[in-house]
Structure 1
Amino acid sequence: MDFDFSEDQQALRDAVQRFVEKDYGFEQRRAIVREGGFSRAAWDGLAGLGLMGLQVPEAHGGLALGPVDAMVVMEELGHGLVLEPYAQGALLAPLLLSQAPQALQADWLPRIVAGEALVVLAHQERGLRYRLDMGQTRATAGRLSGVKSLVSAGAQAQAFVVPATDEQGPALYLVEAGAEGLVTRGYVLHDGSAAAELTLQATPGQRIAQGEAAQALLELAADTALAAQAAEAVGAMDALVRLTADYLSTRKQFGVAIASFQALRHRMADIKMQLELARSMSYYATLKLGEPPAQRRRALSQVKLQLSQSMRFVGQQCTQLHGGIGVTDEYISSHFFKRLTVMEMQWGDGLHHLAEVSARMTEQAGVFA
């Protein structure tokens, strides 16, 4: 199997890398956190590169590229610790709208491509944990009532895809920001990214999908998010490992660089091994997105299980190798650790996906197929 990237994919990587280096430096990121964890200027910058249309059909002004291209972009955004919810707005939103009525697609997809509209999934509820179902939110005659938690950039979004149960069963609805009965309370997560609580009280919505199709679409969106998160985590871990290696090469004790100490060299080897395990599983996730649902769901749980272990190990070890400076807000290493910690808890933590992998084991007897 060929794991080399095409010239176009390498050019895409270079473009995102230049954006991160030029427009998303560490001090710029800290300023964005102070302002609430979302920058409209940064979002417009990503749109200016054409990234918002990466997976939007050409009929709506998009590029209609594939999951490998998305993986390339997410890795570079992970390198730069970009806070803006690119995966939500540019990968999940077009996917969730793919089964919407044509009028709804024609209204929203071109605006997503232009960066004018941020549409995010609002699926989590208190007590729901990581289950992918419609929760306690109810829809009656097209009006939704319920509470959704940890909605990515909820205070900045222009619309939400909201799972709910209506008269005909499970469904997905599009709810516009500012709609009647919608109350949004924004806050900043531990890693500095923006999130919000959504309260819906007889809030009007437009139905996107219904019944088994809605449930299948929600599960596909979650698996797509897991693949994107895996690539972002690999980018973040790769940057953190390089930062740690540079630190060990410059920090001196007893007149020599501590990188020469055999015990620390062994620890760096273990860290590098976890990074490469994560990278291989990120590739695996991307390649499995086109599989039938049962195989895809099992594969993505396997991916998140390994990523959870790698993120925790790399984050903890690199922070410890930095010593006291590794936990200070003024040094970027601590922000990588925070981001990896938050990602480990999103879309199902390690224990959740260990249970998912175990439940889906059949004749393999624990061997990943």
Structure 2
Amino acid sequence: MDFDFSDDQAQLRDAVRKWVDRGYGFERRRAIVAAGGFARAAWNELAALGLMALTLPEAHGGMGQGAIDAMVVAEELGRGIVLEPIAQAFIAGSVLSKHAPAAVQSAWLPRVASGEALLVLAQQERRARYRLDVCDTQASASGAGHALSGAKSLVAAGDLADAFIVAARLDGRIALFLVQRAAAGVSAQGYATQDGSRAAEVRFSDAPATLLTRDGLAALEQAVDTGIAAACAEAVGVMDRTLAITIEYLRQRQQFGVPIASFQALRHRVADMKMQLELARSMSYYASLKLDAPAAQRRAAMARAKVQLGQSMRFVGQQAVQLHGGIGVADEYIVSHYFKKLTQLEMVFGDTQHHLGELSGRMQETAGVFA
């Protein structure tokens, strides 16, 4: 099997890395955090690079690329701990292009591709605790369309989004709907999250909605799996940069007249960080490669990847802070922000314990060393 990236993917990586290095420095990021955690200007710059259109169908203004291209982008944006939720563009593109009626695709996909419209997934509810089959939001027929009532939590940039992809129960089954933020009956309360990005609590009160698919649970699982693959790739980028910053610090910091990078015990800890990073990288590749697999295989693959990524993120983040000492948790120092990002990513779309449960629940009688 060939694991080398194509020339186009290498060029894509280089373009995104250059934008991060030149256009999204630490000071700009701090300014965006202070301003609320999301900048339309930065979002538009990402769109100008073609990143919103990357995985969308060419018929709707997209570039028709695949999961590996999206992985490359997410990894590079992770290196810069970019706040703008690129994963939501990948999720929206996947849901709309695979499940939405043709009229909805024509109306929204070109706007997503250009960056004009920010569509975000609204599926998390307080009672669900990461379970996708737990949904209290209700949908009912209303004239020629539908109306939604309920509440969603931790909606990425929810008070600034143009529309939501919402999971709601229709006739006892989960379905997916598109709801515009400006619609009557929609309210959103935004706030900053742990890593400085933006989320919102969104409420619907008989809000007009457009039905995307009645097979909502399957579509929702696919959407979340797209998000998991993107989160895994982003985490690899975050850990890669965290390790580089830590190594640079160890080379500069001196004790007893020599750089502490020369201390064998610290070198061993750095080697362990590198090992965890590479384990995470391989499972991130695995997750992206499995996005087009049958649903059962795809779901199991995402759970495996998220377990390994969760373990790696926790280890790399904690070791980075420990090796820096007190400065590692200072808000003025960049590594503390990488640590916060890793802490948050570990919980995105299900934490490590949740996905361990997913894996154990999917084990067959033949699972184990004696199979």
Question: How far 1:168 sits from its partner (Å)?
Answer: 6.1
TM-score w.r.t. length of structure 1: 0.97
Aligned to 2:27: 27
Question: How far 1:366 sits from its partner (Å)?
Answer: 4.3
Aligned to 2:293: 291
Change (3 A) 1:125 1:321: same
**Is contact 2:128-2:134 (8 Å) kept?**
no
Change (3 A) 1:28 1:314: same
Change (3 A) 1:164 1:329: same
Equivalent of 1:338 in 337, 340, 361 = 340
Determine the C-alpha separation between the residues in 1 that align with 2:191 and 2:237: 25
- Aligned partner of 2:9: which letter? Q
Equivalent of 1:191 in 190, 195, 200 = 195
**Is contact 2:168-2:176 (8 Å) kept?**
yes
Aligned pairs (5 A) from 1:19-98: 19-88=19-88, 90-98=89-97
Equivalent of 1:173 in 156, 164, 177 = 177
Work out the percentage of aligned pairs sharing the same amino acid: 61
Determine the C-alpha separation between the residues in 2 that align with 1:366 and 1:238: 33
**Is contact 1:234-1:279 (8 Å) kept?**
yes
Determine the C-alpha separation between the residues in 1 that align with 2:222 and 2:104: 20
Match of 2:303, SS state, is helix
Question: How far 1:262 sits from its partner (Å)?
Answer: 0.8
Alpha-carbon displacement from aligned partner over 1:259-286 (angstroms, at most 9, x marks no partner): 0101101111111110000001001111
Matched, 1:300 2:302: yes
Question: How far 1:214 sits from its partner (Å)?
Answer: 1.7
Determine the C-alpha separation between the residues in 2 that align with 1:52 and 1:291: 23
Equivalent of 2:315 in 313, 316, 319 = 313
Equivalent of 1:200 in 186, 199, 204 = 204
Question: How far 1:187 sits from its partner (Å)?
Answer: 0.3
Determine the C-alpha separation between the residues in 1 that align with 2:162 and 2:77: 22
Question: How far 1:169 sits from its partner (Å)?
Answer: 2.5
Alpha-carbon displacement from aligned partner over 1:179-200 (angstroms, at most 9, x marks no partner): 1011110000010010000011
Match of 1:51, SS state, is coil
Matched, 1:155 2:155: no
**Is contact 1:60-1:106 (8 Å) kept?**
yes
Determine the C-alpha separation between the residues in 1 that align with 2:174 and 2:48: 37
**Is contact 2:135-2:174 (8 Å) kept?**
no
Match of 1:183, SS state, is strand
Q: Which has the larger displacement, 358-367 or 181-190?
A: 358-367
Match of 1:22, SS state, is helix
Alpha-carbon displacement from aligned partner over 1:115-167 (angstroms, at most 9, x marks no partner): 10000000001111000125110011111000100000001100000000123
Q: Which runs of 4+ in 1 moved over 3 A?
A: none
Aligned to 2:17: 17
Alpha-carbon displacement from aligned partner over 1:62-93 (angstroms, at most 9, x marks no partner): 001000000000000000100000011x2000
Determine the C-alpha separation between the residues in 1 that align with 2:46 and 2:16: 8
Question: How far 1:365 sits from its partner (Å)?
Answer: 2.6
- Aligned partner of 1:67: which letter? A
Question: How far 1:363 sits from its partner (Å)?
Answer: 5.0
Determine the C-alpha separation between the residues in 2 that align with 1:305 and 1:130: 14
Determine the C-alpha separation between the residues in 1 that align with 2:198 and 2:156: 6
Aligned to 1:120: 120
Determine the C-alpha separation between the residues in 2 that align with 1:8 and 1:297: 29
Question: How far 1:215 sits from its partner (Å)?
Answer: 1.1
Q: Which has the larger displacement, 95-104 or 137-146?
A: 95-104
Alpha-carbon displacement from aligned partner over 1:209-243 (angstroms, at most 9, x marks no partner): 00xx3211110111111111110000000000000
For structure 2, list consecutive stretches of 5 or more residues without a partner in the other structure: none
Change (3 A) 1:128 1:52: same
Determine the C-alpha separation between the residues in 1 that align with 2:336 and 2:191: 20
Match of 2:346, SS state, is helix
Determine the C-alpha separation between the residues in 1 that align with 2:298 and 2:158: 28
Determine the C-alpha separation between the residues in 2 that align with 1:133 and 1:35: 36
TM-score w.r.t. length of structure 2: 0.97
Alpha-carbon displacement from aligned partner over 1:17-52 (angstroms, at most 9, x marks no partner): 111111100000000000110011100000001111
**Is contact 1:100-1:208 (8 Å) kept?**
yes
- Aligned partner of 1:249: which letter? R
Aligned to 2:281: 279
Match of 1:205, SS state, is strand
Aligned to 1:104: 104
Alpha-carbon displacement from aligned partner over 1:279-328 (angstroms, at most 9, x marks no partner): 01001111111111111111110100000000000000011100111111
